[in-house]
Structure 1
Amino acid sequence: MEVRGYIKGQEAEKAVFDRTIKLAPDDKPAFNDPPVGFRNKRDNIPHGNVSPVQYTSKALGQLREMLVYTPPGYSRAKRYPVIYLLHGLNSGNGQWPYWINANTIIDNLISEGKIKPMIIVFPNCNTNVTVNNPKPDEQEERKGGYKGYGLSFQNDLLQEIIPFIESHYSVYTDRGHRALAGLSMGGGQSLNIGLSHINTFAYVGGFSSAPNTNQFGGLSDAKLLPDPLAAKHKLKVLWLACGTKDGLFNVSQRVHQYLKQQGVPHVWHVDSNAHDDIEWANNLYLFAQHLFK
């Protein structure tokens, strides 16, 4: 039985890393592309602030740093929903604001009245990194592949980062005002953590998710969806997206197919992009407009 299980696991792993893309009829765009200039900084609108924030992580035994975006006009007299945005394997917490222009995308959407003002938290998903490491927008060395970015970061996010944000910023503290999303490795982390903690997050998104994603019959013995019934009835938005030029397309496609088999409602947005900032910026623009309704 152990040999059969090992062979099955090997076959599943091979399938996940198979770069051959075979499109099904429902592998298509769910929405139109964003308008031209949607992530360009505009001089005639108010802008939010992105600031480095240090915190002591008891879960990791480290002094760590995250970046926090506060929207234009942020006031302690109001309360705000929060998006936690996770970066990819070879980048730090500066990937979203400094390369993809996440804060500018949100500034523009707020100015157009398309979304409510919100706070964005950019954690460092590499649990080996402390505040003494290189600047967050510089590439980081791979340490242990995807294996180094699992439960240790989950514990840091759930036990340290979220409580810190909720005690230091004027934010809502219920699941209905909390979203988790990420790109590549961060997409896998978002699906793994979000779908295992539906009582914590009402909105979950994986953009170009990497093979660290827990998949049914995939790389991990852990199931992607511990509680399908809760996912069906409690998740307000579950978002999967990937481009057909992405070598990791099959990861998201397999997750979509599994969720479809389980009858879990979700967005499956397939476009023609690659594993790049265009894909991730487009999906943040679209995803943000479905939050906190």
Structure 2
Amino acid sequence: MTVIKAQNKEAPVGFDQYQAAILHGKMDTLVYFSETVGVKRHALVYLPPGFSPKKSYPVLYLLHGIGGDEYEWLKNGTPAIILDNLYAQGKLDPMLVVLPNGRAMKDDRANGNIMAADKIEAFAAFERDLLQNLIPSVEKKYPVKPNQINRALFGLSMGGGQALNFGLGNLDTFAWVGGFSSAPNTRIPEELIPNPQEVKDKLQLLWISCGDQDGLIQISNRTHDYLEKHQVPHVFYIEPGGHDFKVWKNDLYQVSQLLFKNIDRSHE
């Protein structure tokens, strides 16, 4: 695993503001059949500026929180604007970004009681939908690079717990894994990382971040403490803020600049 230090500073003013005079990526919609759920499901896909079907790209899967859906990041986190601005500054390696719905059930809207047992279970069931249905559908429709080294899995809050649970539970599928303000659905460290050496051997980046005023910070702290105890390289980034998109937009700004860089592709 590559050891990378977090920048430990907030993104600059204007990082999330639309700039008319630069090249822009575009949002696409992927409709895929989920055998896990038994229905067609939707995911949004950000294609970077200059996207070409003749090239191939790594993929970042970016997960939402318990009260959101595939539109939550788009509406509140402005990922296309943040990434467009970074591309204009030459700070990113080209990648696709997939914004799925992490609630794997037939009625996957965040309606009614979002804490209902069936909705909570649907977040766990998304692991199978992601691995068996969504990723193969993305790799069939878009010109993406296959293999573990070209896949990243990150998320916020409930999606942060999913990203850590599914990413660390499937180390042959994802090489870049992290949680922003991860929620209590995050497995306890002994279950999350039963084999620290395997994480050291297989991951390129493991990221744990949280706002310093976030009531859920103990989840990130306990994960960090376990990783530190077992000498697993990772980024532990505590930043100003609470449990909100000010923090998560900053996380995306920081993380996206680390992905798919400085890696050995000789074994692809």
Tell me the TM-score normalised to structure 2 length.
Answer: 0.90
Match for 2:29: what amino acid? P
**Which of 31, 34, 54 is matched with 1:57 structurally?**
34
Q: Give the distance between the partners of 1:225 and 1:65, measured in 2 at CA.
A: 31
1:42–1:243 CA distance, 2 compared to 1 (3 A): same
Q: Deviations over 1:94-128 (max 9, x none)?
A: 11122110111111111110001210001101112
1:190 aligns with 2:167: no
* Number of the residue aligned with 2:154: 181
Shift of 1:129: 4.7
| Bigger CA radius of gyration | 1
Q: d(CA) in 2 for partners of 1:159 and 1:77?
A: 26
Contact 1:30 1:267 in 2 (8 A): no
Shift in Å, 1:51: 2.2
Q: Is residue 102–residue 123 contact of structure 2 (8 Å, CA) maintained in 1?
A: no
1:146 shift after superposition:
7.0
Displaced runs of 4 or more, over 6 A = none
2:185 aligned with 1:212, yes or no?
yes
Distance 1:73-1:216 versus aligned 2 partners, 3 A rule: closer
- 1:169 equivalent to 2:142? Answer yes
Residue ranges of structure 1 left out of the alignment (5+ in a row): 1-28, 218-222
Q: String of CA shifts for 1:115-156, please: whole Å, max 9, x gaps.
A: 0121000110111255xx66xxxx533132774144410000
Rounded Cα–Cα distance in structure 2 between residues aligned with 1:146 and 1:266: 31
Aligned partners of 1:166, 1:247: CA distance in 2, in Å?
Answer: 38
Matched with 1:23 is: none
User: Aligned partners of 1:122 and 1:249: how far apart in 2?
Assistant: 24
* Equivalent position amino acid for 1:140 in 2: N
CA–CA distance in structure 2, aligned partners of residues 98 and 107 of structure 1: 16
1:239 pairs, out of 185, 198, 207, with 207
AA partner of residue 64 (structure 2): H
Which of 61, 84, 94 in structure 2 is aligned with 1:117?
A: 94
Q: RMSD of the TM alignment (CA)?
A: 1.6
Kindly, what percent of the aligned residue pairs are identical? 43
Quote the Cα distance in structure 2 between the aligned partners of 1:80 and 1:177.
8
Q: Distance in 1 between matches of 2:122 and 2:79?
A: 22
Cα deviation, 1:241-263, whole Å, max 9, x if unaligned, reads 00111110101111111111121
Aligned to 2:193: 225
TM-score, normalization by structure 1: 0.83
Q: Is the deviation greater in 184-193 or in 96-105? A: 96-105
Unaligned runs of 5+ in 2: 1-5, 262-268
- Provide, for residues 208-238 of structure 1, a one-character-per-residue CA deviation record: whole Å limited to 9, x for no partner: 0000000136xxxxx0113311101221110
- Are 1:253 and 2:226 matched, yes or no? no
Q: Which amino acid is 2:72 matched to?
A: Q
Q: Which amino acid aligns with 1:204?
A: V
- CA distance in 2 between partners of 1:145 and 1:55 (Å): 22
Which amino acid in the other structure matches residue 135 of structure 2? I
Counterpart of 1:289 (choices 232, 257, 261) is: 257
Q: What are the superposed Cα offsets for residues 151-176 of structure 1, whole Å, 9 maximum, x if unpaired? A: 41000000000000011100100211
